Structure 1
Amino acid sequence: MPSSDEQSAGRTFPDQADPSPPATSDPTADPGRVPGVGARLHRLIPEASRQVLAVYGEGEDSPDCTLVLYEKDDDDAWYEAGQWQGHNGRKGWTTDHHENDLRTPVGVFTLSDAGGTLDDPGARLPYDQGKSYRVPQSWGEAHLHDFDYVIAIDYNRLRGTPPTDPTRPEGDKRGGGIWLHVDHGDGTSGCVTLPESGMEYLLRTLDPDRHPVVVMGDRQALKA
């Protein structure tokens, strides 16, 4: 099961309601830079990475976000390969995440392990399927499918282990159990969500050989 941190309770998919415009449409933007991401965070993207999931939070205290998958072509230019509307921590974002603060950590994190209650949809990342992802009934009906599919965000966790591994290398106070998972329509305890179709697409697309990472934060923080 996820930690107590989570227990506190261009392609667009057809179930995406009221899609926002792309995160950026600046024709003068540098094709070698992920749109909307400033120099400091851009330097944290591994040189080998050819897949970046950018999560653009609508505001420091907002639970709403836009997710855009970028892939790098043979000319080392980033192009948009998918876009979804989703949610982040119900209190917004933080650069100093702590357990139960109901905020999502800002930063650049690798994506290395996946799982869920449903059978593997063809994931390229290692996929752990099982009962350990079932949501407690006490969370309510709206959350029953949250963990049908999950991708672990490598914040305060051991890479190469199932998303449910409780190990927190930086200590429990720093929080953990930060996942990409199926959207339930509002803010989370710290995870990032998107529609189920988007999760399926990411699971089938994110490739360990392309060193995928997530770059996430509110739009202002991402520009730093």
Structure 2
Amino acid sequence: MNRRTPQLALLAASVLLTGCGGAAVAGTEQSISTPVSSPPPSAAQSPSPSPSGMFSAESAPQQIPGLGPKTWAKVPADARQAVVVTGKGANSADSTVVLYQRTENGWEAGESWPAHNAFKGWTDHHNVGDLRSPIGVYSLTDAGGRLADPGSKLPYDRDDNFVVSGTGFEGEPLAGSFDYVIAINYNRKTGTSPLDWTRPMGAGRGGGIWLHVDHGGPTHGCVSIAKEHMKELLQTLDPALHPVVVMGDATSLGR
């Protein structure tokens, strides 16, 4: 742990003004709590995916597998896209991401992508500097990045200020991490650039929680996936389908 102490300080300094859990300026937690229109089926009623990772039209579940009644109740009835981030453990920085899309036949799963979350894992009460990702269900409305718009359906802010330098917790370079980002609507003003530092709950509750390009190690509070997968998300998530992210460790999501 001593080996990582200087890197922890360097990473915290480098992201403080750029995102991924930083708190540059002050400003409600937009965790969604709209109940679904019908009670969720039990886990035993949820069919298994095919070997390809996709549910067939005949077997697609009406509820996203792995989500317990408490979590499922927070998924809005009008949501037709859900990015499900499942952490390996409460204190683990490793997770997986699956994009689910709701059709007339039920929820259909995309591929499972490896991902990273915060260095110390997950929390249901995120505070600035705790190095944990916030558990919850949050809307996805705004995107941006240092690179040109790859065809995002979400409003996209191309800005040179989407930049971070230095090294991460494992000594990996952070450059390019913000080439593509999608703002997770935790403690932020929706309908604005991810670079907007308004914090409705105050600076102490953190913010700047994004989906962004993976740099090969734990994050400060964000969720990171490979660049090609970020690009795919940007091209797929559609405001008309009310996309959300459902994120947390597997145990928490199963409650």
Range into which the TM-score falls when normalised by the shorter chain: 0.7 to 0.9
Task: Evaluate the alpha carbon distance shift between residue 187 and residue 138 of structure 1 in structure 2; reply closer, same or farther with a 3 A threshold.
Answer: closer
Q: Give the structure 2 partner of residue 61 of structure 1.
A: 91
- State which of 38, 48, 53 in structure 1 corresponds to 2:68: 38
Q: Give the structure 1 partner of residue 233 of structure 2.
A: 202
Q: Does 1:177 align with 2:177?
A: no
Return the offset for 1:27: 7.8
Q: Does 1:223 align with 2:223?
A: no
Between the aligned partners of 2:142 and 2:20, the Cα distance in structure 1 is 20
Secondary structure in structure 2 of the residue aligned to 1:71: strand
Deviations 1:111-154 (A, max 9, x none): 00000000000000000001110214577871101000000000
Secondary structure in structure 2 of the residue aligned to 1:204: helix
Q: Does 1:5 align with 2:21?
A: yes
Between the aligned partners of 1:132 and 1:209, the Cα distance in structure 2 is 28
- Please report the TM-score for the alignment, with normalisation by the length of structure 1: 0.87
Between the aligned partners of 1:82 and 1:164, the Cα distance in structure 2 is 29
Question: Size of the alignment, in residue pairs?
Answer: 205
Higher strand share: 1
RMSD across aligned C-alpha pairs, in angstroms?
1.8
Between the aligned partners of 2:62 and 2:206, the Cα distance in structure 1 is 33
Q: Give the structure 2 partner of residue 127 of structure 1.
A: 156
Q: How does 1:1-224 map to 2 (within 5 A)?
A: 1-3=17-19, 5-6=21-22, 28-29=45-46, 31-75=61-105, 77-137=106-166, 142-224=173-255
Return the offset for 1:6: 3.9
Between the aligned partners of 1:27 and 1:193, the Cα distance in structure 2 is 31
Runs of 4+ with >4 A deviation: 137-141
Secondary structure in structure 1 of the residue aligned to 2:161: helix
One-letter amino acid of the counterpart of residue 5, structure 1: G
Between the aligned partners of 2:63 and 2:242, the Cα distance in structure 1 is 16
Gap regions ≥5 residues in structure 2: 1-16, 24-42, 48-60
One-letter amino acid of the counterpart of residue 198, structure 2: T
Return the offset for 1:74: 1.4
Gap regions ≥5 residues in structure 1: 8-25
Q: Give the structure 2 partner of residue 13 of structure 1.
A: none
Percent identity over the alignment?
47
Q: Give the structure 1 partner of residue 10 of structure 2.
A: none
- Residue pair 1:93, 1:105 contacting (<8 A) in 2 also: yes
Secondary structure in structure 1 of the residue aligned to 2:235: helix
Q: Give the structure 1 partner of residue 13 of structure 2.
A: none
Secondary structure in structure 2 of the residue aligned to 1:5: coil
- Residue pair 2:167, 2:174 contacting (<8 A) in 1 also: no
